[in-house]
Amino acid sequence: MKTVLLTGANGFLGGHLCRTLLQRGYAVRAYVRPGGNQRMLSGLPLDIWEGDLRDTDNVRGATYGCDYVIHAGAVAQVNPARSRTVVDVNVGGTAAVLTAATEAQVERLVFVGTANVFGFGSKEQPGDEACPYNGARYGLDYMDSKLVATRMVTQAAVEHRVPAVLVHPTFMLGPIDHKITSNALLLALYQGQLAGIPTGGKNYIHVDDAATATVNALTEGRLGESYILGNENLSYREAFALMADVMHVRPPRWLVPRPVTRLIGQVSDWKYQLTGRLAQLNSAMAAVANDGHYFTADKAIQELHLPQTPVRVAIQDAFDWFQQHGIIQKAAWQPGTHEFRQFAGSGQ
Q: Where are the domains of the chain?
A: 3-182+203-233+294-309
Q: What is the dihedral of CA 264, 148, 229, 265, to 10 degrees?
A: 0
CA separation for the pair 312, 238 (Å, rounded): 11
Reply yes or no: is the peptide bond before residue 80 cis, omega within 30 of 0: yes
pLDDT of 188 reads 93
pLDDT of 201 reads 98
Cβ atoms of 225 and 165 within 8 Å: the answer is yes
Does residue 330 carry a pLDDT above 50? no
pLDDT of 76 reads 94
Q: Which residues have a Cβ under 8 Å from the Cβ of 84 and sit 6 or more positions away?
A: none
Pick from 168, 163, 132: nearest CA to 150: 168
Task: State the amino acid at position 219 in one-letter form.
Answer: T
Cβ atoms of 112 and 13 within 8 Å: the answer is yes
Q: Which residues have a Cβ under 8 Å from the Cβ of 185 and sit 6 or more positions away?
A: 243, 338, 339, 342
C-alpha 119 chain-centroid distance: 17
CA separation for the pair 127, 202 (Å, rounded): 11
Does residue 311 carry a pLDDT above 80? yes
pLDDT of 344 reads 53
pLDDT of 329 reads 62
Query: pLDDT band for position 276 (50/70/90)?
Result: confident
CA separation for the pair 292, 120 (Å, rounded): 7
Compute φ and ψ for 269, nearest 5 degrees: -60, -45
SS3 245: helix
| Cβ-based burial of 283 (10 A; exposed 0-12, middle 13-18, buried ≥19) | buried
Percent of the chain predicted with pLDDT > 70: 94
> Of 188-192, 221-225, 325-329, which one has max mean pLDDT?
221-225
Which fold is adopted by the domain 3-182+203-233+294-309?
Rossmann fold (3.40.50)
The pLDDT of 97-121, averaged and rounded, is 98
Question: For residues 35 and 119, which has the higher predicted lDDT (pLDDT)?
Answer: 119
Most distant CA pair in the chain, distance: 56
- Cβ count near 119 (within 10 Å): 16
For the segment 234-274, what is each residue's pLDDT rounded down to a tens digit? Answer: 999 999 999 999 999 999 999 999 999 999 999 999 988 88
pLDDT of 341 reads 46
56-63 and 93-104 helices, crossing angle to 10°: 40
pLDDT of 279 reads 83
Cβ atoms of 212 and 221 within 8 Å: the answer is no
pLDDT of 334 reads 40
Q: Among positive and negative, which fits the CA dihedral 54, 55, 60, 63?
A: negative
The pLDDT of 109-116, averaged and rounded, is 98
CA separation for the pair 72, 21 (Å, rounded): 14
For the segment 159-183, what is each residue's pLDDT rounded down to a tens digit? Answer: 999 999 999 999 999 999 999 999 9
Does residue 144 carry a pLDDT above 50? yes
For the segment 14-50, what is each residue's pLDDT rounded down to a tens digit? Answer: 999 999 999 999 999 999 999 989 999 999 999 999 9
Query: pLDDT band for position 126 (50/70/90)?
Result: very high
